[in-house]
Amino acid sequence: MIYPWHLYLMAILYILAGIFHFLKPKIYMRIMPDYLPNHRLLVKLSGEAEIFLGILLCIPATKDLSIYGIILMLMVFLLVHFHMLSSKKAGVGLPQWLLILRIPLQFLLMYWAWYYLKY
């Protein structure tokens, strides 16, 4: 089955985001909440998850499973976004309005993934 081009765009975005976890791991470790253990491992696992889910999104037999995985992953990532709001160090110098805007963006990304369940 051929999917709309924007599903493939989403897949590419997740794959690229996952690759950046390996290219720039210090950035991701800096934004991790202190209460989560082993930041290096979690950054690696989240990068692997993004790459894996992006690839599975393009395979008809695994598309829906990938969508549920992406939505779950984005829900977990909300922890990081809220942490960035509450910690000056984790906020990496981004303006407060941009950090706040990232919260609804997560929900828009969840909706974008959920939208493809109908295909």
pLDDT in tens, 47-82: 999 999 999 999 999 999 999 999 999 999 999 999
pTM above 0.85, yes or no: yes
Task: Quick: pLDDT tens for 1-12.
Answer: 689 999 999 999
Q: What is the mean pLDDT of residues 15-22?
A: 98
pLDDT tens-digit profile of 89-117?
Answer: 899 899 999 999 999 999 999 999 999 99
Computed over every residue of the chain, the mean pLDDT equals 95
Give the tokens for residue 93: 């110098």
